[in-house]
Amino acid sequence: MKVFLVRHAIAHARSRARWPNDALRPLTPAGKRKFRKAARGLATALPTSAALLSSPFVRARQTAELLAAALGRKKIVEARELASGESAKEVFTMLRARKDEAVVLVGHEPNLSTLLSACLHEHGRLKIDFKKGGAACIEFTGRVEPGRACLHWFLPPRVLRGLR
């Protein structure tokens, strides 16, 4: 299974006054504009059959919608396992239950870097700087288990925006 991890694009700063529930915090206009370009580049690297899963949080969902538009599709599966604060163990369980050859997971930090670290090293202690709007591609050739993935690429949004 190929797994593509995508961190949500630039969102508004936390503000209890504007968004008492942080799950409702949206992307900024600049975040949308920049990720729209990154999504076009990312779309060139994604298999057309990849399932698109997103955290239920607004900023991740908006990021997934921009990516879906770049891919020319509409279906996005909401996955509570990708919500901010959920554990990598929950994501491993979710992935093992799926039959897809490829999945795109749109989520948050520090969840994504923790998950990526756990996929690459069974003790999950790698330090990873996952930029907003960045993406990574890993592949499990056998069972989806900690430390069993191979990293194919890890790209910041600046590079994704330059892909054609």
Average pLDDT over residues 30-35: 98
Strands (E), the chain: 2-7, 51-54, 77-78, 102-107, 135-140, 149-155
pLDDT at 123: 81
- For residue range 56-105, what is the model confidence (pLDDT) as tens digits? 999 999 999 999 999 998 899 999 999 988 899 999 999 999 999 999 99
Cα angle, residue 29 at apex, residues 104 and 108 outer, rounded to 5°: 35
AA letter at 117: S
Work out the percent of the chain whose per-residue pLDDT is above 90: 91
- For residue range 115-139, what is the model confidence (pLDDT) as tens digits? 999 999 988 789 999 999 999 999 9
pLDDT at 122: 84
Looking at residue 80, what DSSP letter applies? Answer: G
Q: Where are the domains of the chain?
A: 2-162
Work out the percent of the chain whose per-residue pLDDT is above 70: 100
pLDDT at 115: 96
* pTM attached to this predicted model: 0.96
Residue 138: exposure state from Cβ atoms within 10 A (0-12, 13-18, ≥19)? buried
CATH class label, 2-162: alpha beta
